[in-house]
Structure 1
Amino acid sequence: MKHSQSTAPIAIIGMGLMGGALMRMTGAARGWDIDTSRCVNAASANDVLSTCEVVFLCLPNSGIVREVLRAADLKPGLILIDTTTGDPAEMAELGVQLATQGVHYLDATISGSSAQLLKRDVLVMAGGERAVFEQCRELFAKFAREAVHVGPCGSGAKMKLVTNLVLGLNRAALAEGLAFAWDLDLNPVETLDVLRRSMAYSRIMDTKGEKMITQDFTPQARLSQHLKDVRLMLAASSIPLPLSETHRQLLEKAVTLGFGDADNSAVIKAF
């Protein structure tokens, strides 16, 4: 490659919440989205992929990633950093296929929301060649407090599903606890304060507790996206995941109630 990753032309494909935050933190000069109002110095996805050296993919699922890349002019030496929470098997297969074209692929999933990324308070979990991961460390440091290499392509997606399983259940448990407190006529603000001081504490109380109490569901991460993740977990697992199955039902109920595009803290509406 001609340039180090700190100076190479950087671009984003998928300018939603996470993509927009990444553009701001990495200083990417170009960004493309299917919503043309979000595009920055980019006429098409292929325009970005054929002219930039490092491209972040911030797309809803791995099927859309494949669709975007299928018609693209991918030049050898290109580094694709896929932050999509997708199907681990598909992402592993994609890494193998891209390698035959001389394209470097990291499934570099992100633990944390777009709001946390803007504070450099997220964790990157990357699968792919370690050498490519090491080349991108300086770039990851622009928006993440830490980045870890977790194995070959597909491993980042697997680790993201594991972390999202625990994170999502923490969120659902908090929602149920606060709903229970309301039912017992406890003051929800005081209840949240006590929960934070107790052995029940989790960081989710700091990021989602107030949103649940005030019913402020301005999206930091959309509920429908987490439902997609839970379905991926259930599909990827060869063992029963009974808590995640219940969580799926709760999220589907929240979507039915009209909260699919709301923040994932809106899971409390299912109670």
Structure 2
Amino acid sequence: MSIQPNQSIGIIGMGLMGSALMRMTGAERGWDVDPRRCAGVTSADDVFEHCDVIFLCLPNSDVASRVLREAKLHAGQIIIDTSTGDPAEMAALGAELAARGVHYLDATVSGSSAQLLQRDVLVMVGGEAAVFEQCRELFAKFAREAVHVGPCGSGAKMKLVTNLVLGLNRAALAEGLAFAQQLDLELLQTLDVMRRSMAYSRIMDTKGEKMIMQDFTPQAKLSQHLKDVRLMLAASSIPLPLSETHRQLLEKAEMLGFGDADNSAVIKAILEP
């Protein structure tokens, strides 16, 4: 069984990702703390009362937990939490909601809101396999692929692992371009050569020209990735030396005023003295 046409969809959190999800899923209601972003509702309660499937697009699992514990949920609802949060907290939240008859999927997204609008993201989902299958057609509206990775909390774990590698690829690209600048190489040509070489990663396609042109219009905010790196370090029982260095770079970029800028602004932490 899949989500039926008569089942209504709502969004909690109408930032970049939430707004993109509303457009791609045809969600009927969307709520945000910023009233200018709300769509068809005056409160979060309106979404929880009228919607059968609700996407959460919130800053972290603490906020998601607080919102859900205050919400008037009803048995049979499906909560799809796209927030990148603490895996243990999300697993506990899934168990708590299951006791109330509410289905919970931690469905983390690999890709930006711009990529989601092109159906070019991967969704990594933790929760009951049967509920995942029920939502598969819904995921297909905005993702090129959705994969079930285990019980509640597993989506958050997988997102931290993929974001670790993604973030380090981005930081490596920033350092490489900064190094090329110091060597007086032409940067657009350097980026083209790197794309043709064994150094290639997809991050060059999405962030390379943004770094070179200093265009930090946000696709995904730098401060959000700093939050993710801190979660990685807190969740790991082994040292993560590259991620520790990455944290320091991101904190420097945030201190320089780039927290709300695109995460490609990490290059400023390398270029600035």
TM-score range, shorter chain: over 0.9
Partner of 1:42: 41
Give identity over the alignment, percent: 80
User: What is the letter of the counterpart of residue 12 of structure 2?
Assistant: I
Cα deviation 1:214-236 (Å, max 9, x = unaligned): 00000000000000000000000
- Aligned to 1:73, the other structure's residue is in SS state coil
1:53 and 1:79 in contact (8 A); partners too: yes
Q: How does 1:243-254 map to 2 (within 5 A)?
A: 243-254=242-253
Partner of 1:112: 111
CA shift at 1:4, angstroms?
2.8
Q: For structure 1, which segment, 67-76 or 109-118, has the greater mean C-alpha deviation from structure 2 after superposition? A: 67-76
User: What is the letter of the counterpart of residue 117 of structure 2?
Assistant: L
Partner of 1:77: 76
2:123 and 2:143 in contact (8 A); partners too: yes
CA shift at 1:70, angstroms?
1.7
1:5 and 1:138 in contact (8 A); partners too: no
Q: Aligned partners of 2:55, 2:165: CA distance in 1, in Å?
A: 26
Q: Aligned partners of 1:28, 1:5: CA distance in 2, in Å?
A: 13
Partner of 1:126: 125
Partner of 1:142: 141
The runs of 5 or more residues in structure 1 that have no matched partner are none
Partner of 2:92: 93
Q: Aligned partners of 1:86, 1:183: CA distance in 2, in Å?
A: 38
CA shift at 1:5, angstroms?
4.3
Q: Aligned partners of 2:225, 2:4: CA distance in 1, in Å?
A: 31
| Distance 1:180-1:83 versus aligned 2 partners, 3 A rule | same
Superposition TM-score, scaled by structure 1 size: 0.98
Partner of 2:215: 216
How many residue pairs end up in the alignment?
A: 270
Partner of 1:8: 7
User: What is the letter of the counterpart of residue 228 of structure 2?
Assistant: D
CA shift at 1:6, angstroms?
4.7
Q: For structure 1, which segment, 220-229 or 6-15, has the greater mean C-alpha deviation from structure 2 after superposition? A: 6-15
CA shift at 1:83, angstroms?
0.2
Superposition TM-score, scaled by structure 2 size: 0.98
- Kindly report the root-mean-square deviation, in angstroms, between the aligned alpha carbons of the 2 structures: 1.0
